[in-house]
Amino acid sequence: MEQLRRYAIFAAVVEAGSMTGAAKALGMTPSAVSQHISQLESLLGLTLLHRSTRRLNLTEAGEVVWQGCQSLQQTLNQTELRLSEVRDSLLGEVRITAPVGMAGQPLARALSPLLQAHPGLCIQIIADDEKRDLIAERIDVALRVGTLSDSSLVARKLGQTRMLLCASPAYLARKGTPRSPADLLEHDWLAADMLSGGLTFFDDKGQGHKVKPKPRVVCNNVLPLRQFTLAGQGVSLQPEGEIAEDLAQGRLLELLPGFRVPPMEIHAITPQREIPEKVRRVITALRSHFAEPSGAVPARP
């Protein structure tokens, strides 16, 4: 880096036409400028400037170095231009990691208008229920649902999803319909592993009823649990927006409508607070989608 600094000082001397002019432009003393030029000449083993009392003239070697400095300046200018495009434009790739259940229909609905409006924008989606290393994998945005762990990463709230307790008509015909949270202890519980510690239902008066049913099936994603629920194998919590059609078609029935579990919060996680414009616009599109009731997603942190 020190060598690059010496080349920059050399270029300033050529542009100013004197050591004194370069020193003034750089905020240095003339003797310090002269010392850097001498060190550069010593490093190269060539004289770069013919010094006289009136002016400085480039040697043949100095002309070569000056041309190199100009070429380097053009490269730096082009780099700054490209960086401004990365920062301010909607071009290039945005890498997103999301839980498997969220990576399909919810992301497609949220981001399709943005992709349609900006043909130069590309999205890479990494569908994974496990937490990825955002920095090592150069991930721009991670979507998380549920309670966040303490982290140096930056979290932006996008919305929340309401969870409904449900079962299939065939299961209820076989096992009966629970009338209170305590009745769940007598039912086959299909549980997401994030709820292994049990869950609390709140009634219309705000009173909590905590239960911890013994699970028949445990999974780290609600999609397989939904299939088990549709197959009549038990009771599960499902995101309201994801089972709306199943409820409308009668394939699933909502249970304990007089009780509610706390909604799951949805966050966008980024490695740093300052983000490029394309990432900001992606987060804005996600927030707009998940803030709506139809934006509910499967719950998985």
φ, ψ at 209 (rounded to 5°): -130, 100
Q: Which of 253, 150, 252, 130 is nearest to 194 (CA)?
A: 130
Q: What is the CATH number of domain 1-82?
A: 1.10.10.10
pLDDT of residue 87: 62
CATH topology of domain 162-252: D-Maltodextrin-Binding Protein; domain 2 (3.40.190)
Q: Which of 284, 249, 253, 294 is nearest to 90 (CA)?
A: 284
Map out the domains of the chain as residue ranges: 1-82, 90-159+272-289, 162-252
pLDDT band per the 50, 70, 90 thresholds, residue 3: confident
* H or E stretch at 271: none
Contact in structure between 163 and 263 (CB atoms under 8 Å)? yes
Contact in structure between 142 and 158 (CB atoms under 8 Å)? no
Angle CA(277)–CA(278)–CA(281) in degrees, nearest 5? 85
**Identity (one letter) of the amino acid at 150?**
D
pLDDT of residue 297: 41
Cα distances from 244 to residues 162, 225, 294, in angstroms, run 12, 16, 9
CA distance 255 to 177: 8
Residue 248 has pLDDT above 90, yes or no: yes
CA distance 142 to 153: 10
| Token representation of residue 107 | 């992301």
pLDDT of residue 267: 92
CA distance 188 to 214: 8
| Token representation of residue 26 | 């750089």
pLDDT band per the 50, 70, 90 thresholds, residue 174: very high
Instruction: Judge if 1-82 and 162-252 fold alike in CATH terms.
Output: no
As a whole number, the mean pLDDT across the chain is 86
pTM metric for this prediction: 0.62
pLDDT of residue 238: 92
E strands along the chain, which residues? 49-51, 56-58, 92-98, 121-127, 141-145, 154-161, 163-167, 189-192, 199-202, 208-211, 215-219, 236-239, 253-254, 264-270
Q: Which CATH architecture has domain 90-159+272-289?
A: 3-Layer(aba) Sandwich (3.40)
- SS3 percent helix, strand, coil of the chain, rounded to 5, is 45, 25, 35
| Token representation of residue 252 | 């699933």
Rg (CA), the chain: 31
Instruction: Give the tens place of pLDDT for each residue, 66-123.
Output: 888 888 888 887 777 677 666 656 788 999 999 887 888 889 989 999 999 888 899 9
Distant-in-sequence, close-in-space partners of 16: CB < 8 Å, separation ≥ 6: 22, 24, 25
